[in-house]
Amino acid sequence: MAKSGNSSMDRLLYHRFAKLSLPRHTSYPAVPFWSNRVDHSVISHRIGQLAHGNLPTSFYVHVPFCERLCHYCACNKLVIGRGNAEADKYARRFIDGLEQELKWVNAQSNGKRWNVHQIHWGGGTPTWLGVEEIAEVWALLTEHMSIAADAEISIELDPRVTSSEQLQLLRKLGFNRVSLGVQDFDSNVQQAIQRIQPAEMVESFVRECRQLGFKSINFDLIYGLPMQTLESMERTLSRVVEMSPDRIAFYRLAMLPDAYKWQRTFKAVDIPSNELVLDFMLRAVDVFGTNGWDFIGLDHFAKKTDELSVAYRAGTLRRSFQGMTTGAELPVIGVGPSAISCLGDLFAQNETQFPLWANLVNARGCATVKGHQLSVDDSIRQSVLNQLYCYRYIDKQKFHGQHNLNFDEYFASATEAWLEMEGIGLIENSPKRLSSTPLTGWLLLRVVAATFDAYLPADGWKNGVSSKVASQVG
C-alpha cells in the first residue's frame, strides 16, 4: 500500500500506454466475451447447490431508477422523476418483479434459509424508492435469510435525493455502510456534468450518516471530467480530506460517447488533457496518502481502521463489479435489471432493459440472459488477476501451492511480453514473484493484467483493443 505519491513516475511511459483501451477486469473474462448459453436452468442448479451447502452468500440488488440524468454516467439506469405521473407504476412493477425473482431464487433452496454475510444495493439510485417501498423491498429480500451478526450491508446513495427519513430507516433495517456519489465539488464541473451537489450538502449528509451510526462511508470520485483543473481538483481533494470518508474510490472517467450519447454534450475543449489527468491521479495518491488513507489496488483508498484495509492485510480482498470489496470467496446472487450473479465458476447476468426484465421474471421467475461458465484455465487466470488487481503482485510460490502448477511454465506465452515490460520498467519479475513497479506500473496495472487475459490478442497489452469492448487505461 502506498503512503504518498513520492514513488518514481515515468510520465513518458505512462502516456505511451494510457491512451489504450483495455478491460477493467471486474470479471474474467470481461462481460463482452460472455455468451447467451448460460440460462435459467444453469443458474438454477448452481443456486440450489449454494443453499444446500449452507455456504456464506452475498446478495446484490440493482435498483435501476434515477431522478435525473448525470452526463458522465455509464451505469444501467432508467431516468424518471418521482413527480412523473408514471413513477409510482414503475416502482410497483419493479417491486412486483423483485418479488417474483426472489420467489424463484428461494424456490431453488427447497426451504433452506440463506446464510448471508453481505448485502449490497446499487443502481441507479436505490433511494429513488420511497420509505415504504424500501421497507417492502427489504422484507421481500430478507424473508428467507439468516443474516450474520457481522454482515456488511451497504447501499449507494445520492445525497441530493436521500431524505433523513430514508437514512433513519436504512440504519434501522441494519445497513451499516454507505457509498456516496460525490464525483467532484467544483461548481463548474458539476454544471458540466449536470449534477449540482454543493460541498455543504455532502458535508451535512456525512454528518447525519455518522450521527446515525453508519460505520463506513465511501466517496466515489471521478477524475477526467470536463472543466476540471489542477486548482479545482486541489480544492475537491481538500474538502474530501476535511470530510474524512473511510473509503474513497477514485475513478477515471470512462468516455464512451458512442455508447452513452449524453456524453456528447461535453465540449472537447473542456476535457482535461492526458497530462492533466495524470496530475489529478498523482495528487490524489499524495494527498490521500499523507492524510491517512492507504492506496489499495488500482483506484481505491481506505483508512487503516476500515474493513477494506483490514481485508487487504488479511489477504481477503476481491475485485468485483462493485469495485474493491471484502469477502473474497463469497458467491453473489444478483437480482434486479442487469444484476450479475457470481457463483464460483459461473457468471450470470439479468436482462438489462427494465420492461424486458419485468416480463421475464413475471413469466418464469428468472431473468438471466447471458453469462459465462469458467473453464479450468479461466478460473486459474481469474485468481491471478484478482491477486494482481488487489495487491499489485503475484506470489509464484503461492500460485504453485493453490494450483499445483509452475507459474512461469503455465504462462510461458507471456514471457516475451514480460521481458519487454521489465525492460521498460513496468514490472519486476523474479523467480518468486511478478510485481508491478511503483508508481508507473501501479497506475498501468490494466496493461500488466492484459498479459494474463487469454481472450485478448497476444499484443493486446501494447496495442489495446476496440473501445467498444473496453475503456481507456489512463
CATH number for 448: 1.10.10.920
In a domain, 323, yes or no: no
pLDDT of residue 4: 39
Question: Do 416 and 335 have their domain in common?
Answer: no
Domain count, the chain: 2
pLDDT of residue 262: 61
* Same-domain check for residues 385 and 469: yes
Q: State whether 448 and 360 are in the same domain.
A: no
Q: Are residues 362 and 463 in the same domain?
A: no
Are both 419 and 452 inside the same structural domain? yes
- 34-79 tens-digit pLDDT: 998 887 788 888 898 888 888 899 999 999 999 988 877 777 889 9
Would you say residue 160 lies in a domain?
no
Same domain, 26 and 117: no
Q: Where is pLDDT greater, at 16 or 110?
A: 16
Residue 282 lies in a domain: no
**Predicted confidence (pLDDT) per residue in 218-244, tens digit:** 999 999 999 999 999 999 999 999 999
**pLDDT digit string (tens) for 238-265?**
999 999 999 999 998 876 666 666 677 7
SS (H, E, C) the chain: CECCCCCCCCHHHHHHHHCCEECCCCCCCCHHHCECCCCHHHHHHHHHHHHHCCCEEEEEEEECEECCCCCCCCCCCEECCCCCCCHHHHHHHHHHHHHHHHHHHHHCCCCCCEEEEEEEEEECCHHHCCHHHHHHHHHHHHCCEEEEEEEEEEEEECCCCCCHHHHHHHHHHCCCEEEEEEECCCHHHHHHHCCCCCHHHHHHHHHHHHHHCCCEEEEEEEECCCCCCHHHHHHHHHHHHHHCCCEEEEEECCCCCCCCHHHHHCCHHHCCCHHHHHHHHHHHHHHHHCCCEEEECCCEEEECCCHHHHHHHHCCCEEECCEEECCCCCCEEEECCCCEEEECCEEEEECCCHHHHHHHHHHHCCCEEEEEECCHHHHHHHHHHHHHHHHCEEEHHHHHHHHCCCHHHHCHHHHHHHHHHHHHCCEEECCCEEEECCCHHHHCHHHHHHCCCCCCCCCHHHHCCCCCCCEECC
Residue 429 resides in a domain: yes
Would 102 be classed as within a structural domain?
A: yes
In the chain, % of residues over pLDDT 70? 96
Q: Contact 450/462 with Cβ under 8 angstroms?
A: no
pLDDT for the residue 257: 63
Residue 439 domain-assigned?
A: yes
Its pTM stands at 0.93
Final residue belonging to a domain, choices 374, 406, 427: 374
Domain housing 108: 34-148+331-374
Mark whether 136 and 63 lie in a shared domain.
yes
The whole-number pLDDT of residue 269 equals 82
Q: Does residue 387 lie in a domain region?
A: yes
pLDDT per position as a tens digit, 401-411: 999 999 999 99
Statement to judge: residues 41 and 3 lie in one domain: no
Regarding whether 38 and 23 lie in a shared domain, the answer is no
Does a structural domain hold residue 441?
Answer: yes
Pairing of strands 323-325, 318-320: antiparallel
Please check the confidence at residue 118 and state whether its pLDDT lies above 90: yes
